[in-house]
Chain A
Amino acid sequence: MKSLALGTAGVCLLAVLSLFIGATDVSLGTLYGALSGAGASDQAVQVLLISRIPRTLALVLAGAAMAVSGLILQMLARNKFVEPSTAGTSESAVFGMLMVTLLLPDTPVIVRMLVASACALGGTSLFLLILRQVPLRSPLVVPLVGIMLGGVITAMTEFVAYRYDLMQSVRAWETGDFSGVLRGRYELLWVSFALTGLAYVAADRFTVAGMGQDFTTNLGLNYRRVMALGLAIVSMVTAAVIATCGMIPFLGLIVPNVISLIRGDNMRRSLPWVALLGAGLVLACDIAGRLVIHPYEIPIGTMMGVIGSGIFLYLLLRKNSHAG
């Protein structure tokens, strides 16, 4: 409990840091000046309210939700190397976003997100369906199948996008970037926050479902219903994050794996940790991305691509890895 409080404090510290980093000078000094009306304009307050606070909230919400959905997916697919971007989920969501942009250009963002969720759900189900056909000789086949399926779906997306000149939008969904997050444009992420809460309530069910269909049925749980709930949560979270800020690759893979190295596999106990580390990692990456080439920014998709694939490689190649 104590260490969990310590972790929360760390994330809060990062969040506060995130409020004060960016191209516009926002500091306690300028804020105080603006509030006391002494000279300085209230530009700093405006930036803080419209851009910095929403951005920081979005980072925390998206980070926690993506990490948790990675954990859920790992339980459901019974494989450590699965997460939305290695299961076809993210790519299908992007496909859904493209389709809704193309066919129903004037729909509100919540409808777009729901369509994208439906596509994500379809893609993930297809992934699980293919897995059932695969002779499971190695746990590594599972992420391979997912990545390849994602590649095929991406090719479809790009084929359509190319034709209708929408490559720019597709690239934006494929590369996570929080620099466009403003008040009024991130609220969708509260949906994924609610879903993360739901996942915590249902955590024990997912743990049980992770032990297989027979075991689950034996304990009197409806396996299909648990699977459906989990997949729905993962799809909606992924779609919400992609609709707001784009894909954050490998986050859902590395965070649960690091936590499980440290704290084991009981989902209810590890879930708060996964959420915390997810939020913290995304905050740290985004802050670093804002600092490296200040006043420009490196999008978080690129930062996570480097860090995430590096840690993924470490997980794959470390000695005594069960995968080897």
Chain B
Amino acid sequence: MLVERMELREGRGLSPAAIIAILAALTVASIALFMTIDARGKWSFVLSFRGTKIAAMALVGYSIAVSTVLFQTITNNRILTPSVMGFDVLYRLIQSALVFYLGASTVSTMDPRLRFVVEVVAMVVFSGLLYRWLFSGNRRSLHLLMLVGIVFGVLFRSLSSFLQRIIDPNEFLVVQDRLFASFNRVDSQLLAVSAAVVLAVSVVGWRWMRTFDVLALGRDAAINLGIDHHWAVMTVLVLVAILVSVSTALVGPVTFFGLLVANLAYMLIRSHRHSLILPAAALIAILTLTGGQLILERVFSYNSALSIVIEFVGGIFFLFILVRGSTR
């Protein structure tokens, strides 16, 4: 069905649909390689062990890519992302607060799926309130928003380690490993429920595809074209908050990944249609995660440093955008 939209862009180079097809092929190849390379021992074990990893990476890549593109659509720029604005650290803070208020033993014996749902609901409420407040009222400059977002990130991170310290330090060490996922310690218990959540969000998002395109034109144009802007932005914020919860619950905060992926997608696709950008961004994200992990693990035999590499490349990219002064 993507082929039908080929007419929208001719320009030089490949058509968006062809690029998406190539990305999809590369992603499939990378996943296949990841599943089979250096496999020793029983296939049933290897496939299920690596399959879990791949599923987590795919979910995380998809969630980060989609949430970033949507967030940039409602904030009308290419440099603000949910992570830069402190969303994922907010989720981590909510996790810590939950441990703090309910007690470490209660939380660690709780059904992880129930805990996840409670956290997502809290996340939607708090991020909605906070970012509604930040983005409404008198228009603030983009640089101010960026800086405020980053400082909010520091605040949330410090608050969450503050709460973690107030919980009996010994008790906390016990739960830390079990409750807080990181890129090195994927929380695979949540895979099924995360997948269901992501699917639900995607179904809603699919019906809204055209609304996203209109929202990307900016507030005034969107209202002119008959969109209830306030309501639409709130809905998108809720979707973004849910997706960020999923990715943070699975692998923890990764600051710059979304920024890289979204900008790469816009560069490759050279279109503003969400029906093209969203799949491209998601594919690039999954490809980068699986491919990056593959290269780090197999070529450099260097496990679990992927998030550090992403922060490094992403930070330089961010600096580059700032220095070029093209923050719009």
Contacts and interface: CB of A to CB of B under 8 A. Distances in A.
Contacts of A144: 143, 146-147, 150, 322
Contact of A302 (B140, B162, B319): B162
A316 B141 contact: no
A317 B312 CA distance: 29
B144 A324 contact: yes
B265 to A, nearest CB: 21
Given A145-B319, A159-B308, A302-B162, 18 more contacts: A81-B147, A137-B325, A138-B141, A147-B150, A148-B319, A152-B311, A152-B316, A155-B308, A159-B305, A159-B312, A162-B305, A163-B302, A249-B154, A293-B165, A298-B165, A302-B158, A306-B158, A324-B144
Q: Secondary structure at chain A's binding surface: helix, strand, loop or mixed?
A: helix
Q: Closest 3 interchain pairs by CB?
A: A305-B158, A155-B312, A152-B315
Contacts, number: 108
Nearest to B153: A309
Interface of A: 81, 130, 133-135, 137-138, 140-141, 143-145, 147-149, 151-152, 154-156, 158-159, 162-163, 249-250, 292-293, 296, 298-299, 302-303, 305-306, 309-310, 312-313, 316-317, 323-324
Contacts of B165: 293, 296, 298-299, 302
A298 B143 CA distance: 33
Nearest to A253: B151
Nearest to A299: B165
A74 B323 CA distance: 20
Contacts of B318: 148
Contacts of A249: 154
B152 interface: yes
Contacts of B308: 155, 158-159, 162
B309 interface: yes
Interface string B291-306: 0000000000010110
A306 B309 CA distance: 28
A298 B167 CA distance: 11
A101 B165 CA distance: 28
A70 to B, nearest CB: 15
A95 to B, nearest CB: 13
A152 to B, nearest CB: 4
A143 B151 CA distance: 11
A324 B141 CA distance: 7
Nearest to A162: B305
B325 A305 contact: no
B228 to A, nearest CB: 28
A158 B323 CA distance: 25
